[in-house]
């Protein structure tokens, strides 16, 4: 067990997978000597050479096209798109090519690749560098979507994503890059599609992913001080998502709240709420609630940026209201 940052954990996972399988390689902007924007590729080009850690021009469509071609020929590329916002420049390649080729060719070929898209707000990076588009990728048939919240999960889930036989959109939160945690360096890949119960509880289920899952843990502490027992579930994988773990929790608590950083309007939380409500119609003690950011571009100004954030206080306040006794 070692203490390391979220970025270091991902770097370790990629190094281990490249050592395990010579078909694994990575490409993207500044992944070579610079080692990525947060050091998530640091030292890998020096170790594996410029043929396996490949610096590319500033062209997301080219990065994705090269990665798709490589995957179709039997390699396992890791395509770094630097920020999730820039993935939109490669939307055709991701949505119309990578996601659909296996289906259109009746399974004769597969596209085993990882599409790394750092998501979320980070200290004044403003409207074009702060977005979370998980709802877009979840709504695209053929894609697996993963969003780790801890260094250990970033390590284990990246291993799993590299070994998957379908394209995986791997969404790392930028504000987690420097967060530290214990990582088992010899850990096996984490099962894709398996949520984590971060904290047990009996009064309400807090359901989230990525950085907001950590905010739910902080909210659970605030709620505990008020006598409310909150269970916190980190989905980890958005598609496929772990219905069994979520449903078992809600069956127990009979209340739930969904929180995420992406806009509330059109967010994946709405889809989750609809699916859960269809199953638990008439069984809940309180109406379900979803929290998300407002439908505005993320501002550069710190005070205005904070308006977009879904923090522990927001979550705890909304959850406490759901747990109040009925009049």
Q: Which residues are catalytic?
A: 129
User: What are the φ/ψ torsions at residue 227 (nearest 5 degrees)?
Assistant: 85, 15
Nearest to 86 by CA among 128, 41, 29: 128
**In angstroms, rounded to a whole number, what is the distance separating the alpha carbons of residues 198 and 195?**
9
Sheet (strand 76-80) strand order = 53-55, 24-28, 76-80, 114-116, 168-170, 144-146, 237-239
Residue in the structure block whose two tokens are 């770097």: 11
| Residue 111, strand partner residues | none
Decide if 243 contacts 294 (C-beta within 8 A): no
Decide if 318 contacts 289 (C-beta within 8 A): yes
Nearest to 76 by CA among 45, 111, 42, 127: 111
**In angstroms, rounded to a whole number, what is the distance separating the alpha carbons of residues 206 and 232?**
5
SS (H, E, C) 194-252: CCEEEECCCCEEEEECHHHHHHHHHHHHHHHCCCCCEEEEECCEEECCCHHHHHHHHHH
């Amino acid at each position: 067990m070692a203490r390391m940052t979220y970025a270091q954990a991902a770097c370790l996972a990629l190094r281990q997978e490249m050592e395990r399988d010579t078909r694994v390689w990575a490409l993207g902007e500044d992944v070579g000597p610079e080692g990525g924007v947060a050091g998530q590729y640091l030292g890998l080009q020096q170790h594996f050479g410029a043929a396996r850690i490949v610096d590319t021009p500033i062209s997301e469509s080219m990065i994705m096209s090269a990665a798709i071609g490589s995957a179709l020929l039997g390699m396992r590329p890791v395509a770094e798109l630097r920020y999730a916002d820039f993935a939109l420049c490669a939307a055709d390649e991701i949505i119309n090519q990578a996601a659909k080729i296996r289906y259109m060719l009746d399974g004769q070929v597969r596209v085993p690749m990882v599409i790394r898209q750092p998501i979320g707000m980070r200290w004044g990076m403003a409207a074009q560098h702060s977005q979370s588009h998980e709802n877009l990728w979840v709504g695209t048939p053929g894609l697996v979507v993963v969003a780790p919240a801890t260094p250990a999960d970033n390590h284990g889930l990246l291993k799993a994503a590299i070994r998957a036989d379908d394209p995986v959109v791997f969404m790392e939160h930028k504000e987690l890059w420097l967060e530290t945690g214990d990582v088992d360096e010899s850990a096996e890949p984490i099962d894709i599609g398996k949520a984590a119960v971060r904290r047990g509880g009996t009064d309400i289920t807090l359901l989230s992913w990525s950085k907001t899952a950590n905010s739910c843990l902080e909210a659970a502490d605030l709620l505990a001080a008020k006598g409310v027992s909150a269970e916190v579930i980190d989905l980890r994988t958005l598609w496929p998502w772990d219905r069994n773990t979520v449903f078992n929790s809600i069956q127990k608590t009979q209340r739930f709240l969904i929180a995420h950083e992406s806009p509330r309007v059109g967010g994946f939380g709405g889809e989750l709420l609809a699916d859960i409500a269809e199953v638990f119609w008439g069984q809940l003690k309180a109406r379900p609630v979803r929290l998300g950011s407002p439908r505005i571009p993320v501002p550069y100004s710190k005070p205005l940026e904070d308006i977009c954030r879904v923090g522990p206080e927001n979550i705890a306040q909304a959850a406490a209201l759901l747990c109040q006794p009925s009049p």
